[in-house]
Amino acid sequence: MELVIQQLLLGLTNGMVFALIALGYTMVYGILELINFAHGDLFMLASFLALTLVGLFGLGDASGGTLAVGLVGVIVVCALFAAGLNWVVDRVVYKPLRKAPKLAPLVSAIGVSFVFMNLGLFWGGLPMDEFGGGVAPAAPKSFPELLPNINLLGEDATLRVTPKDLLVIVSSLVVMAALFWFVNRTKLGKAMRATAQNPVAARLMGIDVDKVIGATFLIGGALAGFAAVIYSLYINTINFQMGYQNGLYAFTAAVLGGIGNIRGAVLGGLVIGLLRAFSDQFIGAQWQPAILFGTLILILVFRPTGLLGSTAREKV
């Protein structure tokens, strides 16, 4: 029983991170029908920025209030960085291709993904102490354990719940609640859903569709930046390929949930997280990809639009 709950916790924490990244894929797809392949690598770059900032601020030795303030600062800077970078990429790379065939921005997104990955490689090669100076650029960098690695249930308890688990789950829930509030309750949020559902009608309502697209990239980027910080704090190691791996999980989550659907992305992220945890524990890690993609295929066979895709009457 404890084992099941332990894996549930592991699945949830990982799933939250996948969900946060999946939201960025799904929101952009919803509005542009573009799979932004660079999104995972944006997440990776934000982790490198997080590690750099942790070093610059000397957070490795900080504790208590200083650490808390510092972490909030790192989250804010990384979210702003990823939001801004995502926005710039849209303006410079995707926007000129709005009227081109869909394949053109898609191939460009793959190009941006490679550019980001090589930036990550370059960044990892910088002679910074926090990167373990001298270690090869491609080598994983260790991200300091800033949160106490203790069991909140007591060190003797069989079930292990750490402050890191709580941080990931609680802060993700808060961020997602804020996103849902924004999308469902604010004027700009409603305009985003309207633009995704019918861009021509949105124009006829006086909505500046370009601005709405820009806002979508900003928000998706900010979510990836936030996810990068909490994931790095949780997993304590980063490398230039982590965006590719996690991006693939997140993209799968978005498709599983119904690409373009915001609730679907969250649901998909959690499903992928839980599937991974349980298949690793009870079936074997070597079977994980087979289980994941087998499930994806099964779901798409029976529900081609994904779990909450547009045949369901769910609101976006």
Partner 1 sequence: MSEPLLSLSAVHTSYGNIEALHGIDLVVYPGEIVCLIGANGAGKTTTLMSISGCVKTRSGTIRFDGKDITQMPSDRIVRLGLAQSPEGRKIFPRLTVLENLEMGAFIRDDKAGIAADIERVIALFPILGERRHQAGGTLSGGEQQMLAVGRAMMSRPKLLLLDEPSLGLAPLIVLKIFEVIKTLNAEGTTILLVEQNARMALRHSHRGYVLETGAITMADKADVLLADPRVQAAYLGEGDH
Binding site for partner 1 (CB under 8 A): 187, 190-191, 193-194, 197-198, 200-209, 310, 313-316
User: By C-alpha distance, which of 313, 311, 279 is closest to 296?
Assistant: 279
What are the distances in angstroms from CA 189 to CA 27, 85, 147, 299? 11, 21, 35, 29
Supply the minimum distance, in Å, between the C-beta of residue 39 and partner 1: 24
- Ranges of beta strands (E only) in the chain are 141-142, 237-238
Give 6 or 197: the residue with its C-beta nearer to partner 1.
197
Give 47 or 195: the residue with its C-beta nearer to partner 1.
195
Give 9 or 212: the residue with its C-beta nearer to partner 1.
212
Residue 238 pairs in a beta bridge with: 141
Cα separation, 279 vs 292, in Å, equals: 9
Supply the minimum distance, in Å, between the C-beta of residue 175 and partner 1: 23
Cα separation, 202 vs 254, in Å, equals: 24
Do residues 57 and 307 touch, judged by C-beta distance below 8 A?
no
Give 201 or 285: the residue with its C-beta nearer to partner 1.
201
Give 194 or 235: the residue with its C-beta nearer to partner 1.
194
Cα separation, 90 vs 19, in Å, equals: 22
Name the token pair of 168: 């990931």
Supply the minimum distance, in Å, between the C-beta of residue 196 and partner 1: 9
Supply the minimum distance, in Å, between the C-beta of residue 299 and partner 1: 21
Supply the minimum distance, in Å, between the C-beta of residue 300 and partner 1: 21
Span between the terminal Cα atoms of the chain, in Å: 36
Supply the minimum distance, in Å, between the C-beta of residue 198 and partner 1: 5
Supply the minimum distance, in Å, between the C-beta of residue 190 and partner 1: 6
Give 98 or 160: the residue with its C-beta nearer to partner 1.
98
| Burial letters 10-45, b for 16+ CB under 10 A, else e | bbbbbbbbbbbbbbbbbbbbbbbebbbbbbbbbbbb
Name the token pair of 65: 């209030």
Give 136 or 204: the residue with its C-beta nearer to partner 1.
204
Cα separation, 234 vs 81, in Å, equals: 20
